[in-house]
Amino acid sequence: MLEINQPAPDFSLADAQGISHSLNDFQGQWLILYFYPKDNTPGCTKEACSLRDNLAQFKTLNATVIGISTDNSASHLKFIEKQSLNFSLLADSNGKVSASYNALFKLGPIKFSKRHSFIINPEGEITKIYRSVSPSLHSQELLSDLAQLQK
């Protein structure tokens, strides 16, 4: 199980355009890493749009928002275009990164990311873990906690 103040598990995943991103790409800044079950579903859309609408506030706190699900890059691209998302979504098609963050749900052959989030500090350490997330309230919760962590 992941704990506060431990190094965040590394990852290397492709975004909607096929460009690879890893944890090291975000060194020196705060990272909001949020896992979600499925593109274009009601709860996931609500959460993504709330994060989209608050992205400027995250940027003022030197934070980057990244979404991860087991959907593929093509699905992410459609979701980004349909909802005008202004942050990257990474494709964890095999579920390995979700599993490394204890955010993978498996039921037989079906697997998807659970709705879990992490705030990772500029040194790459986990500073906050969310295992229970309300899609409509989570963006404000993240902003408030991020501001507190930076004090």
Domain ranges of the chain: 12-149
pLDDT grade, residue 123 (50/70/90)? Answer: very high
Say if CB 71 and CB 91 are below 8 A apart: yes
Please tell me the chain's helix, strand, coil percentages from 3-state DSSP, rounded to the nearest 5.
35, 30, 40
Residue 1 in this model has a pLDDT that exceeds 90:
no
Q: Secondary structure of 71-108 in the HEC alphabet?
A: CCHHHHHHHHHHHCCCCEEEECCCCHHHHHCCCEEEEC
pLDDT for res 133: 94
Say if CB 28 and CB 60 are below 8 A apart: no
Region 49-65 average pLDDT: 98
pLDDT grade, residue 109 (50/70/90)? Answer: confident
Q: Which helix H or strand E contains 129, and what residues bound it?
A: strand 126-130
Instruction: Match domain 12-149 to its CATH number in 3.40.50.150, 3.50.40.10, 3.40.30.10, 3.40.50.2300.
Output: 3.40.30.10
pLDDT for res 79: 98
Q: Which residues are part of the catalytic machinery?
A: 44
- Token look-up 């975000």 returns 26
Residue 64 in this model has a pLDDT that exceeds 90:
yes
